[in-house]
């Protein structure tokens, strides 16, 4: 369990840069923590402590920060290290699993939303049809991509199929199609 004193020390050793890389983001720069031997050691110790005495085969780390801290943790627990990289960054055989980017959607997320908006006028459209259009397995869309897109407010699941939200249109820089209502053409008498 992390002590209040250590938590304060750890927070104090991380520099905050407002509005980077874009307005509204508070970027947490850990290079200041990494440059402070005591803080870096304590951070690694705190990450290792819950697993002390456990048999760990591999530690995985996502890009940049995850490589630094994950590598140090893997060393301390005498485990191998698995780097998690963006698509196309590793030359050998890889396993591909989608994950949320820190500041936006990944390539497949954008492709799914684009297909729903551009090919199917924003939906509703069935998940199998979407899977065929983007060249992905239906199960992968349902288990990996769809929950994230729904959680983040880009996609809605309706009884008739999946629909892109206003947030999805805005994200892609598109205007939502305006549909006529059932009674729009009727005039009052």
Active site residues: 65, 102
**Is the separation of the CB atoms in 61 and 83 below 8 Å?**
yes
Angle at 146 between CA 113 and CA 62, to 5 degrees: 95
Token look-up 């992905």 returns 136
Burial class (CB in 10 A: 0-12, 13-18, 19+), 182: exposed
- C-alpha–C-alpha distance, residues 80 and 57, integer Å: 6
- C-alpha–C-alpha distance, residues 112 and 122, integer Å: 11
Q: Which two tokens stand for residue 158?
A: 């309706």
């Amino acid at each position: 369990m992390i002590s209040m004193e250590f938590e304060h020390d750890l927070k104090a050793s991380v520099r905050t840069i407002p509005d980077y890389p874009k307005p509204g983001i508070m970027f947490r720069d850990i290079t200041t923590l990494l440059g402070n031997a005591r803080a870096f050691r304590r951070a690694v110790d705190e990450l290792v402590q819950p697993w002390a005495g456990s048999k760990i085969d591999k530690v995985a780390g996502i890009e940049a920060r995850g490589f630094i801290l994950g590598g140090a943790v893997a060393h301390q627990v005498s485990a191998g290290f698995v780097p998690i990289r963006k698509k196309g960054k590793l030359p050998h055989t890889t396993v591909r699993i989608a994950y949320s980017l820190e500041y936006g959607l990944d390539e497949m997320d954008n492709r799914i939303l684009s297909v729903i908006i551009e090919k199917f006028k924003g939906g509703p459209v069935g998940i199998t049809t979407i899977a065929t259009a983007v060249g992905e397995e239906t199960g992968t869309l349902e288990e990996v991509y769809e929950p994230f897109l729904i959680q983040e407010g880009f996609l809605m699941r309706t009884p008739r199929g999946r629909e892109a939200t206003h947030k999805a249109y805005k994200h892609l820089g598109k205007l939502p199609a305006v549909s006529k209502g059932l009674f729009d053409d009727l005039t009052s008498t």
